[in-house]
Amino acid sequence: MIKNENFCDLDMKLNNKFTCLKKQIFTIDNYLLIPIREIDIQNIRKWRNDQLDVLRQKNPITMNEQIQYYNNVIKKSFLEQRPDMILFSFILDNLCIGYGGLVHINWNSKVAEVSFMVDTVRSTNENIYEKDFSVFLKLIKMISFHELNFKKIFTETYDIRKKHIEILENAGFKLECRSLKQKKIHNKLVDILTHSYILDSNHKSFELL
């Protein structure tokens, strides 16, 4: 649980809440997902710019571009019953260490893509990254299947991210397809892998912890 903080008090302090969610705070141990906070967006921008090689993003984001995106896109998502994205600040011991959530949501099909990123320094330590990403995946399953009643979540990954892929597969995500030579990283063409977690007769329940 959060140190020195009551969940009800924290919920009252949230500047923004998602209309589409009954709960706003999701937690495992000292990790939290809460609606993405404006105070975190510039750190997120820096992490994204530092990690362009693993993103679909082509160019660095400026400070003003990030502010405009938050004001024009993210703020709108808090108020919509069916937003295109649901993004969270990823908190550990009261400190934002990353962000992520569900994007490209198809509400009719109940399918969404998983997005995730952590602090650049944490991302370079395999043991820390494995813990962070594994907990995040448990939390995003909780939100996707328990809170939103989705049927499927998926993620796209470049095949050079061996540890990332290992964590996904250990969390029950299955390789769905491989798109050959779709991205150039450091002058080398790499494959894009799509992994999915489907809530079907084999996944009616899953271990969150």
Quote the domain boundaries for residue 139.
Answer: 7-150
In a domain, 113, yes or no: yes
**What mean pLDDT value characterizes the chain?**
87
pLDDT at position 136: 98
pLDDT at position 208: 45
Candidate from 53-57, 77-81, 101-105, 165-169 with smallest mean pLDDT:
53-57
**Three-class secondary structure of residue 37 per DSSP:** coil
pLDDT at position 137: 97
Give me the helix-helix angle, 126-141 and 162-170, nearest 10°: 40
CA distance 24 to 36: 10
- First-to-final CA distance of the chain: 14
In a domain, 146, yes or no: yes
CA distance 86 to 138: 16
In a domain, 155, yes or no: no
Copy the structure tokens of residue 65.
């571009």
CA distance 181 to 193: 11
- Work out how many domains the chain is built from and give that number: 1
In a domain, 104, yes or no: yes
The 174-185 sheet, strands edge to edge: 26-28, 31-35, 86-92, 95-106, 111-118, 152-158, 188-198, 174-185
Which one-letter DSSP state was computed for residue 50? H
In a domain, 167, yes or no: no
pLDDT at position 206: 47
- Please check the confidence at residue 40 and state whether its pLDDT lies above 90: yes
In a domain, 78, yes or no: yes
pLDDT digits (tens, 9 = 90+) for 97-156: 999 999 999 999 999 999 999 999 999 999 999 999 999 999 999 999 999 999 999 998
pLDDT digits (tens, 9 = 90+) for 69-114: 999 999 999 999 999 999 999 999 999 999 999 999 999 999 999 9
pLDDT at position 209: 38
In a domain, 164, yes or no: no
pLDDT at position 59: 82
Arithmetic mean of pLDDT, 40-53: 91
CATH code of the domain in which 101 resides: 3.40.630.30
pTM of the model: 0.87
In a domain, 159, yes or no: no
